[in-house]
């Protein structure tokens, strides 16, 4: 359902089903998408779990994004920092409204959504339990110092992605590992997309994290 509770940012909240055992998901779409695009991932990654799916509020040629860019692949890092703070504040407010346990959300972002998820991890490391980064780039040239100990981060980029060379994927993984994140890389043979072949592995990794650390 779409919220009518005074939380004015466009979003969808799906309450957990009675049979749900997995972590709640924070879904973050790619450029030109919206809060409905990634809802199908609920059944693939955390069946029946609560879902908070949020729309980016920055427009680029009429297409929603989570932050501005100066050109393709060149981010406006000042705006990125502001937007990451705004998103973190919204997530805290929405979590309280919808009774989502603090630090239980697993962010799942695609492309621009993956990049704002990385920024959120680095700027507000206590806001998320884990992150799944699909078609992710490096958000910051000089990322903030953050303690990500015990935070699972899955990076799944395409080996044929024209936007994200392998060196950039490795740089992102190194930045997160330097901050003590538990990084798992799941490359796939395709391009800039969500590859269905990696979703079962991601689901298993998220479930394993729950058993180790609790939801």
Question: pLDDT (tens digit, 9 = 90+) per residue, 65-110?
Answer: 999 999 887 899 999 999 999 999 999 999 999 999 989 999 999 9
Q: What single-letter DSSP state applies at residue 3?
A: -
Does residue 208 lie within any of the structural domains? yes
Percentage of residues in the chain with pLDDT exceeding 90? 86
Task: Report the CATH number at residue 42.
Answer: 3.40.50.1820
Active site residue 11: no
Give the strands of the sheet with 182-185, arranged side by side: 11-14, 51-54, 25-28, 106-110, 130-134, 152-156, 182-185
Structural contact between residues 14 and 27, judged by C-beta atoms closer than 8 angstroms: no
- Tens digits of residue pLDDT in 35-64: 999 999 999 999 999 999 999 999 999 999
Tell me the average pLDDT across 200-207.
Answer: 95
* Amino acid 3: pLDDT: 41
Q: How far apart, in Å, are the Cα atoms of 70 and each of 78, 99, 145?
A: 11, 37, 25
Task: Domain of residue 196: give its range.
Answer: 11-213
Could you say which of 23, 53, 104, 161 is catalytic?
Answer: 161
- Asked about 147 being catalytic, the answer comes back as no
| Residue matched to tokens 């603090």 | 102
Is 111 an annotated catalytic residue? yes
Contact 58, 67 (CB under 8 A): yes
As for how many domains the chain has, the answer is 1
What's the CA gap between 118 and 131, in Å, rounded?
8
In a domain, 3, yes or no: no
- Active-site residue among 111, 118, 156, 203? 111
Is position 6 within any domain?
no
CA angle 128–131–135, rounded 5-degree value: 145
The catalytically annotated residue of 76, 192, 195, 215 is 192
Structural domain includes residue 5? no
In a domain, 82, yes or no: yes
143 and 122 in contact (C-beta within 8 Å)?
A: yes
How far CA 149 is from CA of 146, 175, 177, in Å, comes to 9, 13, 9
Let me know if residue 50 belongs to a domain: yes
């Amino acid at each position: 359902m779409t919220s009518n509770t005074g939380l004015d940012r466009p979003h969808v909240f799906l309450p957990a089903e009675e049979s749900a055992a997995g972590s709640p998901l924070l879904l973050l779409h790619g450029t030109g998408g919206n809060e409905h695009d990634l809802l199908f991932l609920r059944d693939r990654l955390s069946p029946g779990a609560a879902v908070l799916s949020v729309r980016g509020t920055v427009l680029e040629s009429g297409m929603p994004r989570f932050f501005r860019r100066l050109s393709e692949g060149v981010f406006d890092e000042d705006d990125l920092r502001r937007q990451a703070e705004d998103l973190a504040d919204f997530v805290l407010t929405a979590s309280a409204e919808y009774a989502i346990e603090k630090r239980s959300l697993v962010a799942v972002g695609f492309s621009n959504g993956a990049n704002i998820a990385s920024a959120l991890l680095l700027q507000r490391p206590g806001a998320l339990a884990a992150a799944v980064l699909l078609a992710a780039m490096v958000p910051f040239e000089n990322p903030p110092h953050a303690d990500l100990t015990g935070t699972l981060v899955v990076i799944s980029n395409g080996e044929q992605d024209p936007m994200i060379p392998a060196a950039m994927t490795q740089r992102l993984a190194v930045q997160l590992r330097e901050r003590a994140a538990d990084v798992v890389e799941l490359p796939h043979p395709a391009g800039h997309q969500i590859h269905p072949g990696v979703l079962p592995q991601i689901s298993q990794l998220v479930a394993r994290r729950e058993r180790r650390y609790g939801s």
